[in-house]
Structure 1
């Protein structure tokens, strides 16, 4: 089975022309642009037979051929294969012929003498239309189903919520296309797991390559994604292969896309538009065959209004959009998730810790989980340690969560059930609040600086800087 690789469609493109030399030349041009899934046919009388025997993403037929013309083929193809866009190729730009072909159902009319970029743009557009038709058909078929067709693809995601099942069904519908995907949702909801599910469902032969770009300046971003040649800059004693190349025929996942600098946004836009990139120190572009999936917990719309994010980049990124609901909106998943994380505890500790899952779920039901599933995972692990890996009860979680009615701490502030904060008689300074927030995030994530940073919405470098300064005081 053919799969999407870069611009290459899942099913091949059928080129039909009685001129073998033009067929070979146009195929070479398409291959140079990353479209290498092409079938050539020099006999127009065999078009319908070929279409009946194989699946294609589009058909490009010559207007004038011996035996049968492209104009005569159009209504037959449209009737028997309505999902296929039909491109008509002609040596002459004849207005009457163009009008007749469009009326009969042709998708586009291509003139051989036109610039090759125009010809390629027509083919690309036809492929995109085919993929959109496939997605629409797939979504219609899945609309009334309760769950995904292949639940095994989503086995790493612990849920029984209907909104998540809707996300799974949408992933199955879009997985095999080459269009970029933008995943939105708060920190800790599992955006990387969703990205992996999209990759697994796509059937791509290449690797899934994730990278968190939060805090990367423009030079590090370019070097990380595009690599460099030997001698590109001081210290570049060896060439480096970038992550775009490592994701060849696979999926490149860029997390925290909202943190990109304006210069890096421009470079990513070129990668998405042209499917090309240039390693540092090189004057030769390379083709990318990786599908791009991006994710953010920030509001890109607000960033656009503030002039912090390019509108054209956002348009390119959101070929498809997936929004992952926060844990507070799917509390039905609490028992499943608590049970799952308890199994993790048992495996890591080698203990047989016991727990009344539903009792704990009822206790946590009123908590809003600002850190979402990642926070729940840390809570379960911490609470298990507090109980000595014996019998886990709600009281052990209460020691980790300060709920309304509890006394204020020495600095005069305490977290409530929601995301708000209560203050005592003395207002703490911003420095005190910042310090306590970072310390609490580190405690909940067992010292993991990246996870702690994501939990409170700052960069890992900010947490590292605080720890370094604190150790010197």
Structure 2
């Protein structure tokens, strides 16, 4: 039952199947999608122990296994560990079985053979659900407390304003999340300082890499963020890493996101949705594990209405939003 040492997601994806080849192929497929923290299990009797010891983020569960069936396990998991999403993956094509599993509160039901894209997208949705549940719980606990746990992280922002102190508590709460953060406010209110505090509190081992995207055209945006391979264009005499790669394991801060062109918005959306990007001149995707924080002094609501800012990108960016007065 090997466990990956990588850390996306923070807690492992537990794959339970009695066939070693299935465990291997699912593990490889997930890793190509940037999901690298994987735990496999061939004996269904070991699952209760692994749930207690490893606290998996998501479980991929086969139904047809010896010793203890997948349906028995599903019932036990939803009763004892209701916070863990379970994706049932089986060769059983009977509709009645699928209906029973969904009634038993399985997160999803997939029939083998499963397309790689379907597997990756399903697991990522389950990870997001689990993260959001945990964040809601942390928010409840944090706002029930009066004091900050790590006030030193905000030492560069001098204030006694109660609204700002509430924002500090919220920032402390969302800092460990891998989801994007949108920070808004007028010029000079401390948006970048807030972003740096969030990075400091996140526990990420990588660095914070800041990029001002105001007035940057699409080609420069792509080259700056994604880098290029040798020969990508005239003058590209050597490979160059982009800011996304430099922010690996850390945080990518995009300043003045309200000024980003629509063409560049499409590329940023892909990065956020798929956690992958293409360096200029390359047809091989690279995986990104950088957390994205964006800032702006623009009203993105008005920009959405005018069509100058994509609605789907705004939705992805505003999962966590901080407005600094």
| Short-chain TM bin | over 0.9
1:10-159 alignment, distance < 5 Å: 10-159=10-159
Pair 1:107–1:79, CA change in 2 (3 A): same
Tell me the CA shift for residue 260 of structure 1: 0.8
Unaligned residue ranges in structure 2 (runs of 5+):
none
- Structure 1 runs of 4+ aligned residues shifted over 6 Å read none
CA distance in 2, matches of 1:318, 1:4: 27
Question: Does the residue aligned with 2:144 lie in a helix, a strand or coil?
Answer: coil
Long gaps (5+) in structure 1: 326-473
Q: Which residue of 2 aligns with 1:189?
A: 189
What is the rounded CA distance, in whole Å, between the counterparts of 2:16 and 2:75 in structure 1?
Answer: 16
| Greater relative contact order structure (CA < 8 Å, 6+ sep) | 2
C-alpha deviation, 1:75, in angstroms: 2.3
* Residues 244 and 290, structure 2, Cα contact 8 Å, conserved in 1: yes
2:63 & 2:74 partners in 1: Cα distance? 10
1:220 alignment partner, SS class: helix
Q: Aligned partners of 2:200, 2:5: CA distance in 1, in Å?
A: 12
C-alpha offsets along residues 119-170 of structure 1, whole Å, 9 cap, x if unaligned?
2222111111110110011011112222322222222222222222222222
Q: Aligned residue pairs: how many? A: 322
Matches of 1:241 and 1:97 in 2, distance apart?
49
Partner residue of 1:255? 255
Match of 1:312 in 2: 312
Using the alignment, how far apart are the partners of 1:279 and 1:125 within structure 2?
26
CA shift at 1:83, angstroms? 1.4
How far apart in 2 are the matches of 1:23 and 1:44? 13
The 1-side partners of 2:79 and 2:241 are apart by 48
Hey, what's the Cα distance between the residues in 1 that align with 2:226 and 2:237? 17
Give yes or no for contact 2:181–2:320 (8 Å, CA) kept in 1.
Answer: yes
| Mapped contact 1:256–1:296 kept (Cα < 8 A) | yes
Instruction: Please show how residues 47-446 of structure 1 align to structure 2 within 5 Å.
Output: 47-325=47-325
83-92 vs 204-213, which moves further = 83-92
Distance 2:143 2:53 in 1: 30
Q: Which residue of 2 aligns with 1:458?
A: none
Instruction: Measure the CA separation in 2 of the matches of 1:285 and 1:82.
Output: 35
CA separation in 2, counterparts of 1:228 and 1:136?
39
Inter-partner Cα distance in structure 2 for 1:163 and 1:112: 52
Distance 1:167 1:206 in 2: 24
Does the residue aligned with 2:321 lie in a helix, a strand or coil? strand
8 A Cα contact 1:4 1:177, kept in partner: no
* Residue 185 (structure 1) shift: 0.9
CA RMSD of aligned residues (A): 1.7
* Contact map agreement 1:147 1:166 (CA 8 A) in 2: no
In 2, Cα distance between the equivalents of 1:110 and 1:32?
A: 19
Partner SS for 1:143? helix
Question: Residues 147 and 165 of structure 1 are in contact (CA less than 8 Å); yes or no, is this contact kept in structure 2?
Answer: no
Q: Secondary structure at the match of 1:294?
A: strand
Distance (Å, rounded) in 1 between the aligned partners of 2:92 and 2:172 = 43
| C-alpha distance in 1 between matches for 2:24 and 2:60 | 14
What is the deviation of 1:3?
10
Q: Please report the TM-score for the alignment, with normalisation by the length of structure 2.
A: 0.94
Match of 1:345 in 2: none
3-state SS of paired residue (2:83): coil
